[in-house]
A and B are shown apart, each in its own frame.
Chain A
Amino acid sequence: MDYKPEDREESTMAKRIKTVNKEMLKKTLRTGGCGECPASCQSACKTSCTVGNQVCEKA
């Protein structure tokens, strides 16, 4: 079977580590900031969205 160069690279990498995502927060310094996502109430009296439970509205 012929390997493409990118296949060869992947096959030598990450045998034991599985990268689940490739989130890059730093790049959102440039791309983010539109403000359309909801507020992230943290409190314990209604379901607090928390910023960790949101997605980007533009995704």
Chain B
Amino acid sequence: MHLDDNYVVLDVNSGAVHIIDAMIYDLLGFYDGTNAEGTKAHFAGKYPAEDIDEVLEELQELQKSGLLFSPDFPVPDTFSDEPVLKSLCLHVAHDCNLRCGYCFADTGDFGGHRALMSKEVAKKAIEFAIAGSKQRHNLELDLFGGEPLMNMPVVKFIVDYVRQREKETGKNIKLTLTTNGTLLTDEIVKYLNDNRVMLVLSLDGSKKTHDNMRPYPGHIGSYDAAVKGFRKVIESRHGKNYYLRGTYTHYNTHFCDDVLAMLDVGSEISMEPVVGTTEPWVLMEEDWPTLDKEYEKLARAYLEKKRAGVPFDFFHFNVALDNGPCVAKRLAGCGAGHEYFAITPEGDIYPCHQFVGREKYKMGTLDTGIVKKDMVQYFRHMHVMKKEDCRTCWARFFCSGGCHANADLANGTIEKPYAYGCRIQKKRLEMAIIVQALLTEDMKEGGEDRRPVIDNFKFQVEKK
């Protein structure tokens, strides 16, 4: 992989990352760990023989150390047959005060009727999560929708009840809430801060981009109201414990401009491609060359700002080159349908928030429990080593097979990933690995450590 004059190689099976130069990059397009003589012959005349020999010697040393051309290793099908529940997405409101054009929830009601979760259903969902998590110390609950702040009494009930049950069970229950920001009053901001609720703040970029896809009913843009709320909450929590999260579409393929515009509001940023099928805002094949260049542009901007000490965190560039997850985790996939579920206001259980409304994937209810046990195992076993498209893909230990819901939408099955999503993810990962390699090298060469702190989105409590 490369960005301008920066060349990097990832050894897939070990996870080792090496910074190389243009000549080595060229050689590695031919040398496969077994064909040294062929490589010498192939490149004779292009590079000095002694340089080729020197490089091959270094590559062979790395290979002997298990850091390059490391072989595939056998992995068990899964690491245990019985999953442990890690997180639940609570659809606190199947309703929303906005009418976002791309909303996969059909502007809030998921294709059903508008509804708010009751305290009774919320309590059952929390108990379902606690029981399902067994001995696991950590448990994550996401408050989602629609717009969860439309059901503030139940949000407060959930938070209060969770904090009580945390003390009783000894578990560490992490709360996250996703919001469009337009309903963030001072009182709500204080409540969320006091109760350590991480926030995902939906902002698509510049005012023009945001208002185009995220209007109120009547086509009035929501940017001003959203940003007012976002600035308030970000300042109140001293710039921590949140992400501004944007969606780019066919209408703003130059999404790097929108990411940089978001820096006017906050420095913790995430930007992702829209999900869809045939809608006018869906990303087209013709958009790919632009998107490809935009990820490179973003990587350059990220490096420049990081090296200058400008606060800027781009979520998907946060790849830990050391201390990343273990193989078991990398094979567990996203967790949908076995470690992670979504609960609707009525108490129905789905594999994840994106599957809500796709009736064949309804797995049970909070009253019946999960009845489709076969479906749990089906999701659990559908990981990268089982999928033909994934098995030999270089990104397989980073992407964990892509989004099942996208795959189902694009291909009618979770067995085949959504190809466009894979392409985007791989480009993004290339840029992430390159920038983190360069920042690590800067530090090793005596510079400041500008690498991002990666902490699995934990609420950082300020020390007084």
Contact = CB atoms under 8 A, between A and B. Distances in A.
Interface of A: 13-26, 28-29, 31-33, 35-57, 59
Contacts of B315: 47, 53
B16 A26 contact: no
A29 B324 contact: no
Contact of A25 (B14, B21, B144): B14
The 10 A-B pairs of least Cβ separation, nearest first, read A32-B326, A23-B15, A39-B335, A52-B398, A28-B326, A59-B323, A33-B328, A42-B403, A39-B340, A21-B321
B19 interface: yes
Nearest to B407: A42
B84 to A, nearest CB: 5
A13 B61 CA distance: 8
A44 B324 contact: no
Nearest to B242: A47
Interface stretch (B35-43, B226-234, B268-276): B268-276
20 contacts: A14-B62, A18-B19, A20-B16, A20-B437, A32-B328, A35-B136, A35-B328, A36-B138, A38-B174, A38-B457, A40-B329, A40-B335, A43-B354, A43-B405, A46-B142, A51-B400, A54-B329, A55-B324, A55-B455, A55-B456
A20 B324 contact: no
B275 A35 contact: no
B324 A23 contact: yes
Contacts of B437: 20
A28 to B, nearest CB: 4
B247 interface: yes
B380 interface: no
B335 A41 contact: yes
Nearest to A9: B61
Interface of B: 8, 13-21, 24, 54-55, 58-59, 61-62, 66-67, 70, 73, 75, 79-80, 84, 86-87, 104, 136-138, 140, 142, 144, 174, 176, 178, 200, 243, 245, 247, 270, 272-275, 315-316, 318-330, 332-336, 339-340, 352-354, 397-406, 425, 429, 432, 436-437, 440-441, 444, 454-457
A15 B62 CA distance: 12
A36 B176 CA distance: 17
B73 A21 contact: no
Contact of A32 (B87, B245, B329, B334): B329
Contact of B456 (A23, A41, A49): A49
A6 B401 CA distance: 40
A43 B410 CA distance: 13
B325 A16 contact: no
A47 B187 CA distance: 25
Contacts of B327: 25-26, 28-29, 32
Given A35-B84, A42-B334, A48-B272, A21 B440 contact: yes
Given A44-B274, A47-B270, A53-B319, 5 more contacts: A14-B58, A32-B326, A32-B328, A46-B144, A50-B398
B409 to A, nearest CB: 10
B21 A16 contact: yes
A24 B109 CA distance: 45
A42 to B, nearest CB: 4
A59 B19 CA distance: 24
Nearest to B59: A17
A20 B354 contact: no
